[in-house]
Amino acid sequence: MQLRMTNQREIILNELRKSRQHLTADELYGRVKKFMPRISLATVYRNLETLSEAGIIAKIEISGRQKRFDYDIEAHDHIFCVQCHRVDNISLERGLISVSSLSLPPKYQITGYRVEFSGICPPCQKKNRKAKDKKIS
Amino acid sequence: MQLRMTNQREIILNELRKSRQHLTADELYGRVKKFMPRISLATVYRNLETLSEAGIIAKIEISGRQKRFDYDIEAHDHIFCVQCHRVDNISLERGLISVSSLSLPPKYQITGYRVEFSGICPPCQKKNRKAKDKKIS
DNA sequence: CTTAGTGCAAACTGTTTGCAGAGGG
DNA sequence: CCCTCTGCAAACAGTTTGCACTAAG
């Protein structure tokens, strides 16, 4: 089963890459629709799945209800905003953590690990400051 | 708004604690129904939400589609099985990772982090071995 | 008594799937 | 031409919610 570079697939990939963000399927759907108004959400889902299986993009499972997709397939970690759920990359030294950091090693056959920071993103910090100012005045 | 210790709440809490596992809402529903056949799944969801808001249990967001709930509210990390999605505790030295481990520090106001190992759990390893043996013979 | 909690069904969100037709290679 | 991909609608899984009734304190 070989991949075809259809118009919709190309636009989806382009939009994800140029966004430089970690978008959900429906965020991407919104962007892609501007170029291709008749595209269906199912097509976006199917392509994101296909592209991530092919290793062209990465599917990331982060706290929150929706899956997000990453244009960057290098191993790296993420930080997400607890308020708006935006996700950004962080570069945490790989190798800092290893199986040997585990006391009480589980009898699992380890395949990997993920580190996920949480916090408040700059835009939300700004929003909070404004809201607070309003309250006071 | 104060908490009442209802019968259903007590059984849910008991079952989660005595399981020593990280159960999903419907796994717990199945267990609780044995004692209280007319309980509704919505009640289980509501109570898990309430109990975790009250800090009596912990809600954990791990890879996979369903949320799981943890009887242990101490800060600790998890490992999950990529095959059966079972979740277990791991003890990773807290303090190993800190904001200062981040090169290129994001401008986030950091609130925490989670580490999630993945692997194949002992029962699944066993299952795999059996399946393989069958194939060969 | 008061008001938090319950059971039920219906709504909702995010995602997947069956199908008939379109279009890439 | 073949077979992957598409749009559409319907199905699905997990979770939440409105409502009238129940029961904890």
User: What is the number of other CB atoms lying within 10 angstroms of the CB of residue B49?
Assistant: 14
How far is the CA of B5 from the CAs of A7, B13, B28, B50, B126, in angstroms? 58, 10, 18, 11, 42
Looking at beta carbons, which residues of chain B come within 8 Å of A91? Answer: 102-104
Mean pLDDT of B80-104: 82
Nearest Cα residue to A63 out of A116, A16, A111: A116
Q: Answer whether 0.75 is exceeded by the pTM.
A: yes
Mean pLDDT of B85-107: 79
In a domain, A2, yes or no: no
- pLDDT at B137 exceeding the cut of 60: no
Domain that holds residue B41: 7-136
B2–A contact, CB cutoff 8 A: no
The DSSP secondary-structure symbol of B101 reads G
In a domain, B117, yes or no: yes
In a domain, A106, yes or no: yes
> pLDDT tens digit string along A94-113?
777 877 777 666 789 999 88
In a domain, B47, yes or no: yes
Closest CA–CA distance from residue B123 to any residue of chain A (Å): 9
In a domain, B2, yes or no: no
> pLDDT tens digit string along A80-93?
999 899 999 998 87
> Which amino acid is present at B41?
L
In a domain, A104, yes or no: yes
A120 to B112: CB separation less than 8 angstroms, yes or no = no
Closest CA–CA distance from residue A21 to any residue of chain B (Å): 14
> pLDDT tens digit string along B112-121?
899 999 999 9
- Strand segments (E) across B5-127: 23-24, 58-60, 68-70, 77-81, 87-92, 102-103, 109-120
Tally of domains in chain A: 1
Q: Which residue is nearest to nucleotide C13 (CA to C1')?
A: A65
* Runs of H (alpha helix) within chain A: 7-19, 25-33, 41-53, 122-136
A116 to B114: CB separation less than 8 angstroms, yes or no = yes
pLDDT at A94: 74
- Cβ atoms of B25 and B41 closer than 8 Å: yes
In a domain, B1, yes or no: no
Whose structure tokens read 């986030």? B108
Q: How far apart are CA A48 and CA A31, in angstroms?
A: 14
In a domain, A1, yes or no: no
- Cβ atoms of B55 and B91 closer than 8 Å: no
Q: How far apart are CA B39 and CA B62, in angstroms?
A: 27
A103–B contact, CB cutoff 8 A: yes
- Cβ atoms of B92 and A107 closer than 8 Å: no
Tokens encoding A72: 């960057």
Residue A63 Cβ under 7 A from any strand D atom: no
Quote the mean pLDDT of chain B: 90
| SS3 call for B29 | helix
> Which amino acid is present at B1?
M
CA A2 / C1′ C6 distance in Å: 54
> pLDDT tens digit string along B26-70?
999 999 999 999 999 999 999 999 999 999 999 998 888 899 999
Mean pLDDT of B62-86: 91
pLDDT at B59: 96
pLDDT at B130: 85
H or E element: which one contains B128?
helix B122-136
Q: What is the CATH number of the domain that holds A88?
A: 1.10.10.10
Measured to protein CB atoms, the chain D nucleotides within 7 Å are 3-10, 13-18, 23-25
B119 to A109: CB separation less than 8 angstroms, yes or no = yes
Q: Assign A67 a pLDDT band (cuts: 50, 70, 90).
A: very high
Nearest Cα residue to B41 out of B57, B24, B55: B24
pLDDT at A1: 67
